[in-house]
C-alpha cells in the first residue's frame, strides 16, 4: 500500500533493518491517525499521546524480533489498540474500578468536514446518524468506523479486534441491521456520504 506516494511495506522493511529515516517516516505517517483513533476510546489526551509514544518506542527497541507485515496500517492500529487498552485498564485499577476490553467505550462523533453536502441538510443527516450510532454497542460502532472510515477489510478487522473473520462479518451485519432499523432506506446513502466523502447532487 502506498501513502502519499510512499510504499509503506518498503518503509517497514527498511525500518526492520534499522533505518532511522524509514522509522521516522512511518511515525510521521501514522502518529496523527493513531491519536485520532485513540480519542474514540478516551478523551484523555495525555494518555493517548503516551500510548502512541510507548508504541513507537517498543517498535524501535524490538525491531530485530518483529517480522514483515502485509499491512503496516493494520499492524500499527492493532498494536496501538492493545497498548491503549492496557493503559486504560491500569488507570482504572489505580482507582479500584475494574475494566475490561468489553466495557471500554468507543465514542463515535461525526465532524462537519466528513460530508460534502449542503449545510441545510448536513445537520439533519448527522443528527439522525449520530443518534442511530449512539444506540449501538461499542463494538458495533468500532466495526463501522474501521470498515467505512479506515477502509479495512474483514480480515483486517478480525485481526484488529481479535475475532474471527466470520465474527467480523456478523458484527458488521448486526451493526448495519441496527442502522437500518433506525434510519430505514437512507442507511447506505448516509454511510457513503459520511465515510467515503462523495459529493452528491441535491
Per residue in 105-133, pLDDT (tens digit) is 556 555 544 444 445 555 666 677 778 88
Per-residue confidence (pLDDT) for residue 1, from 0 to 100? 53
Q: All domains of the chain, ordered by start, with CATH?
A: 2-93 (1.10.1740.10), 112-195 (1.10.10.10)
Q: In percent, how much of the chain has pLDDT > 70? A: 70
- Which pLDDT score, from 0 to 100, does residue 120 have? 53
Burial class (CB in 10 A: 0-12, 13-18, 19+), 70: exposed
DSSP string, 78-142: HHHHHHHHHHHHHHHHTTT----TTTS-------GGG--S-HHHHHHHHHHHHHHHHTS-HHHHH
What's the confidence (pLDDT) of residue 89? 79
Backbone Cα Rg of the chain: 18
pLDDT at 50: 86
**Residue 93 pLDDT > 90, yes or no?**
no
Greatest alpha-carbon pair distance for the chain in Å reads: 54
pTM: 0.58
- In tens, the pLDDT along 133-180 reads 888 888 888 888 888 778 788 888 998 888 998 898 889 888 888 877
Q: What average pLDDT does the segment 6-26 reach?
A: 90
In this prediction, residue 66 carries a pLDDT of 93
Amino acid at each position: 500500500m502506498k501513502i502519499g506516494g510512499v510504499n509503506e511495506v518498503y518503509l517497514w522493511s527498511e525500518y526492520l533493518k534499522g533505518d532511522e529515516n524509514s522509522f521516522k517516516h512511518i511515525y510521521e505517517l501514522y502518529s496523527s491517525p493513531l491519536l485520532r483513533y485513540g480519542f474514540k476510546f478516551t478523551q484523555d489526551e495525555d494518555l493517548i499521546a503516551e500510548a502512541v509514544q510507548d508504541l513507537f518506542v517498543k517498535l524501535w527497541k524490538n525491531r530485530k524480533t518483529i517480522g514483515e507485515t502485509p499491512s503496516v496500517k493494520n499492524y500499527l492500529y492493532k498494536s496501538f489498540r492493545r497498548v491503549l487498552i492496557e493503559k486504560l485498564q491500569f488507570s482504572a485499577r489505580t482507582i479500584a474500578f475494574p475494566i475490561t476490553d468489553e466495557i471500554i467505550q468507543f465514542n463515535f462523533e461525526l465532524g462537519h468536514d466528513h460530508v460534502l453536502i449542503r449545510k441545510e441538510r448536513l445537520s439533519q443527516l448527522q443528527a439522525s446518524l449520530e443518534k442511530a450510532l449512539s444506540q449501538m454497542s461499542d463494538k458495533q460502532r468500532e466495526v463501522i468506523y474501521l470498515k467505512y472510515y479506515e477502509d479495512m477489510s474483514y480480515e483486517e478487522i478480525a485481526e484488529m479486534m481479535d475475532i474471527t473473520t466470520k465474527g467480523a462479518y456478523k458484527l458488521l451485519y448486526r451493526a448495519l441491521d441496527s442502522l437500518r432499523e433506525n434510519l430505514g432506506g437512507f442507511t447506505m446513502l448516509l454511510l457513503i456520504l459520511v465515510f467515503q466523502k462523495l459529493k452528491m447532487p441535491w
